[in-house]
Amino acid sequence: MEKFGTERRQEILEAAMTLFSQKGFERTTVDEIASSANVGKGTVYLYFDNKEQIFLAIIEKGLLELQELLTDISHTQDFWQQVYKIVYTNLEYVEKHREFYRLFLKERLNMKLLNHEETHRIIMEKHNMLHRLLTEFLQKGIDQGYLRPGNSHDYCIAVSGILNHFAAIWIMFDSTESLTAKTDTILELILSGIKKCS
C-alpha cells in the first residue's frame, strides 16, 4: 500500500536527522538520505527542494514542538509550578529527542560559518521565539514580586545557559543517566546559586 505523503515526508526527515546528527550537515548527501529512508532520490525532491530545506524542516519542527510544550505551561496557575515545569520540560524534551538536540547543538552556528546565511537566519528566528517566551515569563515573575528586580533578558540568558550546558554535557558524553533527575539540582542553582547559606 502506498504511504501517505505526510508519512513519507516524516520518514525522510527522520532519516536525515539521524545522518545529520552522526555525520554533520555538510558531509551528508541527498543520496544517503534517500537510501536511509528507503526511497528514491527523486522522491526526496518531491518534498524538499534541497538539503538545506530538509535541515530547516527538522529544526523548525523540533523548536515548534518545544515552543508548544512551554506555551502550555503558562496555563498552570502557580508561578513556582511553572518554573519547575519549564526546567523539567526542557530536560525531558532533550531526553526524548536526543538526535534532534545533538543536531541542533552541532549545526545551528555552523550554518552561518558554512555560508548558509538564510538558513541560519531562520533557525535563529525560531530559537529567539523560545528566548522571548522565557524572557516574558521571567519578567512576569519580576513584576509580580516572585523574583528580585533585574533584567529579565539577562535572567533568561543565565537560565538558558544552565539548561543548555547540562543538556550539552549529557549528549556529548552519551550519558545513560536520567537528565530529568537533574531538575531539582538545576532549580536550586537557578534560584539560589552556589553560595553557601549562612
Q: In this structure, what CATH number is given to the domain that contains residue 84?
A: 1.10.357.10
Say if 188 falls within a structural domain: yes
Please give the tally of structural domains in the chain: 2
Q: Whole-angstrom Cα distance, residue 16 to residue 27?
A: 12
What pLDDT, on a 0 to 100 scale, did the predictor assign at position 109? 65
DSSP state of 25: T
Q: Three cell numbers at 12? A: 525522510
The widest CA-to-CA distance across the chain, in whole angstroms, is: 69
Asked whether 19 and 33 are in contact (CB, 8 A), the reply is yes
What CATH number is attached to the domain comprising 7? 1.10.10.60
| pLDDT tens-digit map of 85-114 | 999 999 999 999 999 999 888 877 676 656
* 168 plus 129 within the same structural domain: yes
- Torsions phi, psi for 48 (to 5 deg): -135, 140
Say if 100 falls within a structural domain: yes
Q: Whole-angstrom Cα distance, residue 24 to residue 150?
A: 39
Q: Letter for the amino acid at 23?
A: K
Spans in the chain with pLDDT lower than 70: 1-4, 109, 111-115, 197-198
Q: What SS3 state is found at 115? A: coil
pTM: 0.88
Say if 197 falls within a structural domain: no
* 65 plus 136 within the same structural domain: yes
What pLDDT, on a 0 to 100 scale, did the predictor assign at position 31? 97
Element (H, E) at 92: helix 79-96
What pLDDT, on a 0 to 100 scale, did the predictor assign at position 4? 61
* 63 plus 40 within the same structural domain: no
What pLDDT, on a 0 to 100 scale, did the predictor assign at position 114? 60
Query: In the block, which residue shows the cell 515545569?
Result: 85
* 31 plus 102 within the same structural domain: no
Q: Letter for the amino acid at 131?
A: H
* 75 plus 163 within the same structural domain: yes
What pLDDT, on a 0 to 100 scale, did the predictor assign at position 44? 96
Range of the domain at 16: 1-48
Say if 63 falls within a structural domain: yes
* 156 plus 127 within the same structural domain: yes
* 187 plus 116 within the same structural domain: yes
Q: How many CB atoms lie within 10 A of CB 110?
A: 13
